[in-house]
Amino acid sequence: MRLERCFFLLLNLAVSSAVSLPTVNLNAKGVIMRAFDQFRVKSCIDFKPRDSEDFYLNIQKLNGCFSYIGQRIANGQNLSIGARCDTLGIVEHEILHALGFFHEQSRYDRDDYVQIVSANILPVNIHFFIISTFSPYDYMSVMHYRKNAFTNGNGLTIITIDPKFQDVIGQRLEMSPYDAKELNLLYSCSECLQTVEQYGENVEIIKICMFTFVLVQR
């Protein structure tokens, strides 16, 4: 008889984080908690209170919605959920930045899927459209900009090569299936340490799956 169990060992593989919420309103706090749950359900990313880690996320209500990409700053790396940022998709978007994700329209193959209309982009924001990543394209990604992002008022800034996705890009409902897949690949969520134990005629396979501590609330 073969029995299989999976133990989830919480390991600090990426960035242990803390969430500071004194300036975040009640609705935003609820949305942040929902976003945490989505990461738990769709990946091996988990959230815990900061203990004594040097690197952690400091989620605050600052000016706008923003996050650094990846682990960058010790002693509290700011992630802002400012005014009108308290929706599930936007919170997931900013957390994914902190986990190392770039914008979807920055992918290496983006010109096969969208046309970036540089003439319609405000000059101060043109750097948001620079190619910088190396993964397959996903119109549904929560990391994709909407069709008129940073427009100077002269028209669309992103035109999809396939017209049926023109009004799809920029969705902020939640991370797409491919977002979740890429997150799991990035953090090796499918990898488990496996041991085999013999109990008489019974063989028990024990898997220790590695979770990543990220974010948190005190």
Written as six digits, the tokens of 183 are 């997150």
3-state secondary structure the chain: CEEEEEEEEEECCCCCCCCCCCCCCHHHHHHHHHHHHHHHHHCCEECCCCCCCCCCEEEECCCCEEECCCCCCCCCEEEEECCCCCCHHHHHHHHHHHCCCCCHHHECCHHHCEEECHHHECHHHHHHHCCCECCCCCCCCCCCCCCCCCECCCCCCEEECCHHHCCCCCCCCCCCHHHHHHHHHHCCCCCEEEEEEEECCEEEEEEEEEEEECCCCC
Strands 77-81 and 57-60: parallel
pLDDT at 162: 95
Do the domains at 16-99 and 103-181 have one common CATH topology? yes
Dihedral sign, Cα of residue 143, residue 102, residue 99, residue 80: negative
pLDDT at 18: 55
Second-level CATH architecture of 103-181: 3-Layer(aba) Sandwich (3.40)
pLDDT at 189: 75
Q: Is 144 annotated as a binding residue?
A: no
Query: Is 1.10.10.60 the CATH classification of the domain at 16-99?
Result: no
Q: Is 97 annotated as a binding residue?
A: yes
What is the set of active-site residues? 94
Written as six digits, the tokens of 129 are 């459209």
Residue ranges covered by each domain of the chain: 16-99, 103-181
pLDDT at 207: 42
pLDDT at 107: 87
Instruction: Report whether 214 contacts 14 (CB < 8 A).
Output: yes
Q: What is the mean pLDDT of each run of 10 residues along the chain (218 residues)?
A: 30 44 77 90 78 80 91 85 93 92 90 96 92 78 96 97 96 91 79 44 45 38
